[in-house]
């Protein structure tokens, strides 16, 4: 699969990293790594919100202005000279106020939003390099077993029906699990990791179906290539045999980095 330039992580993935960062990386991530992942996900998600709204976000927010020291405030209060108001001075003040209000304001040019830099993902120590393979590659039969078992166990349900809002990524649990395509992916990813598969072999990918609908699948890297685990099919196919248009995916071995795919 050809990997393109860096892409913005999906908002649902970022929200998942904020609430449950272990689902974004390896189960062996340290407490410090998890804190850094949460902070990165929050920064990246809000940067995307501002970018969508056309608001330029400075690289660093200005520091808060501290109030003046008590001594300065006291000196300013002592320097105020009280003037007794007269009818003439009151009329003059009202005239000045009226003129200030009636004066036309200068025309301001609309501000042009500068591009918002994409926060770099934290370099967690538990995420291996792409060439590292700690665990054995699963067999095609194992992948088919996991794919079919979870496809049968999880009932399809939209995020709007389940949570009242769109694009919620969460691994289905309970006696009657339900979820959409991203939730199937997270459940299969967790099952394979618990079975001993190296997390660096697993990548979430976003595709477009022949109907033009957005969809998510799980890619599993093996010596024979990358295979697709899909809740829309019981068959496990190579990525170039799946009937999809590839859009974005996690970079191999770097789950916090997303790239264009094709």
For the stretch 127-169, pLDDT in tens is 333 333 456 788 999 999 999 999 999 998 777 777 777 788 8
Tell me what the mean pLDDT of segment 232-251 comes to. Answer: 96
Mean residue pLDDT of the chain comes to: 77
What lies within 8 Å, CB to CB, of 222 at 6+ separation is 137, 138, 140, 201
Query: Within a 10 A sphere around the Cβ of 62, how many other Cβ atoms?
Result: 6
20 to each of 24, 170, 256, how far by Cα in Å?
8, 9, 13
Asked whether the predicted pLDDT for residue 49 surpasses 80, the reply is no
Least confident of 37-46, 140-149, 209-218: 37-46
What does the pLDDT read at residue 132?
33
- Look at 104 and 141; give whichever has higher pLDDT: 141
Give CA–CA dist 124/231, Å, rounded.
30
What does the pLDDT read at residue 198?
92
What lies within 8 Å, CB to CB, of 30 at 6+ separation is 125, 126
Asked whether the predicted pLDDT for residue 261 surpasses 80, the reply is yes
137 to each of 141, 151, 187, 196, 220, how far by Cα in Å?
12, 21, 18, 9, 9
Strand 155-156 to strand 178-179: parallel, antiparallel, or no bridges (unpaired)?
A: parallel
Phi, psi of 255 (to 5 degrees): -65, -20
Read off the pLDDT band of 95 (50, 70, 90): low
What does the pLDDT read at residue 240?
95
Residue 211: alpha-carbon gap to chain centroid: 26
Least confident of 147-151, 161-165, 203-207, 235-239: 161-165
What does the pLDDT read at residue 65?
31
Asked whether the predicted pLDDT for residue 89 surpasses 70, the reply is no
242 to each of 106, 142, 229, how far by Cα in Å?
59, 19, 10
What does the pLDDT read at residue 90?
55
The percentage of the chain sitting over the pLDDT mark of 90, rounded to a whole number, equals: 45
Asked whether the predicted pLDDT for residue 248 surpasses 90, the reply is yes
Read off the pLDDT band of 86 (50, 70, 90): low
* Tokens of residue 177, six digits: 């699990």
- Look at 190 and 92; give whichever has higher pLDDT: 190
Asked whether the predicted pLDDT for residue 77 surpasses 90, the reply is no
Name, of 79-88, 108-117, 172-181, 236-245, the range with top average pLDDT: 236-245
H-helix or E-strand spanning residue 6: strand 3-7
């Amino acid at each position: 699969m050809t990997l393109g330039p860096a892409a913005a992580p999906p908002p649902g993935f970022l929200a998942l990293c904020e609430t449950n960062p272990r689902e974004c990386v390896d189960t062996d991530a340290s407490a410090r790594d998890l804190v850094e992942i949460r902070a990165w996900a929050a920064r990246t998600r809000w940067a995307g919100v501002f970018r969508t709204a056309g608001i330029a976000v400075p690289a660093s927010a200005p520091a808060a202005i501290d109030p003046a020291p008590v001594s300065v405030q006291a000196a300013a209060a002592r320097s105020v000279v009280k003037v007794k108001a007269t009818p003439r001075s009151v009329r003059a003040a009202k005239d000045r106020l009226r003129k200030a209000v009636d004066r036309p304001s200068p025309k301001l040019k609309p501000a042009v939003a500068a591009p918002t830099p994409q926060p770099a993902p934290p370099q967690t120590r538990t995420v291996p390099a792409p060439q590292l393979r700690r665990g054995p590659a699963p067999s095609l039969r194992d992948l088919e077993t996991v794919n079919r078992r979870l496809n049968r166990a999880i009932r399809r349900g939209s995020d709007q029906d389940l949570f009242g809002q769109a694009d919620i990524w969460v691994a289905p649990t309970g006696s009657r699990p339900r979820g959409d395509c991203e939730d199937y992916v997270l459940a299969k990813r967790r099952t394979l990791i618990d079975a001993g598969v190296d997390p660096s072999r697993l990548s979430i990918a976003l595709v477009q179906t022949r109907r033009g609908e957005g969809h998510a699948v799980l890619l599993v890297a093996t010596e024979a290539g990358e295979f697709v685990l899909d809740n829309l099919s019981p068959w496990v196919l190579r990525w170039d045999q799946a009937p999809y248009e590839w859009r974005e995916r996690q970079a191999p071995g770097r789950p916090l980095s997303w790239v264009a795919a094709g």
